[in-house]
Amino acid sequence: MINPEIFDHDFDTYLKVIADFTENELIPAENEMVEAGAVPPRIVVRMAELGLFAITIPRVYGGLEWTMEQQVRLTFEFTRASCVYRSRFSTVIGLCSQAILDHGTEEQRQRLLPAMAAGELVTAFALTEEEAGSDASSLTTTAVRSGGTYVLNGSKRYITNAAWADAFVVFARTDQSKPGAEGISAFIVDAGSNGVRTALPAIMNGHAEGPVGEIHLEDVEVPVENLLGGVEGVGLTMALRGINHARLHVAATCIGQGTRLLEETTTHVNSRRQFGSAIAELGAVQATLGGSFAELEAGRSLTVECARAFDEGSIPRHRIAAAKLFSSEMVGRVADRCVQLLGGEGIVGPHPVPRMWRDVRALRIYEGSSPIHERNLGRAMIKQVATDGTLPNTYRA
């Protein structure tokens, strides 16, 4: 439940609350989280109290209703800590809440969003399958109408919060005669329903304390009123608003992670002495840090610009894709350089940089992999220039 005082904060005050929470609670608890193999329960409670599950949800539904630019600035702050923390509320504030907000019925919004904002209803976005990753329209999970229910069968994988969610937004094929996206619908599925089973992987390469999971659905009965929006066949359209929102949040996460990586690494090179002086005095070290900072700031600027355009009412999807692509590739390069500058400490021991190095690798895959974004952006450029000679999302007087 959100501390009522939070609703009285203006944005700058709230941003400082979250910055202090990151510095004084999230970062100090990282080693405890690693040892336990999970985010400490008290931290999850604090996240809910401070409204982190509510930052994107309108106030009329119990949320804080910060703008996209404000959400991005908040993400810059709380992702200076391990991005595993963010994963506990990311699907609530992004993919799930945005799909429900834009496409759900008013009854569904009233029923679900206030509990999501309070951190009392954790949701997971169940789209990906074994044969349906980047090509989401190839999913094979089925939903067959039977009187007042739909019966769902199929499996999902790589699902954030699968093991902790109270409900899933599940995408399933309702019309077998329509291949591709046309026959896909979205459903709200109670995680406690008969026939629902979840499983966690034995090994994670990064994000070990917040592993993705599998969801298996066997003859799961879902009430008709849980068909998202009450409409069949538009499930992937419903997913797009949330996906653009989530991609921008991932770009901001890359900036937060890159900021922490460079802060930790600069502290190290200032204190590490070799050949009679701090290695920070070496020109090669300075050049590595300086180049990394320039790339970080380029990603920050692009992400903020996309957020501002989003707030103006236009979703600049190509620029958002570019921001996610650039920032995720950038933070991977920065993390690799930081591990190199740490030397042995980058490979052995509990320093946060190598842990973050492993964590940020996944960001080049989540919410659209880098090769898919490169391909899609190239296609958009070719089409748009052939049409009117301009690049996608170009602003001209």
DSSP label at residue 94: I
Strand-pairing partners, residue 144, are 151
| Among 234, 284, 291, 226, CA closest to 258 | 291
Rounded-to-integer distance, Cα 120 and Cα 54, Å: 11
Catalytic annotation on 367?
yes
Closest to 55 (Cα-Cα) out of 97, 110, 107, 112:
97
Element (DSSP H or E) covering residue 331:
helix 317-342
The two structure tokens encoding residue 379: 């296609």
**Measured distance between the N- and C-terminal CA atoms of the chain, rounded to whole angstroms:** 47
Which of the following is catalytic: 107, 225, 367, 374? 367
Q: Strand, helix or coil at 196? A: strand
Residue whose C-alpha is closest to residue 222's, from 126, 290, 309, 128: 126
What amino acid positions are annotated as catalytic residues? 367
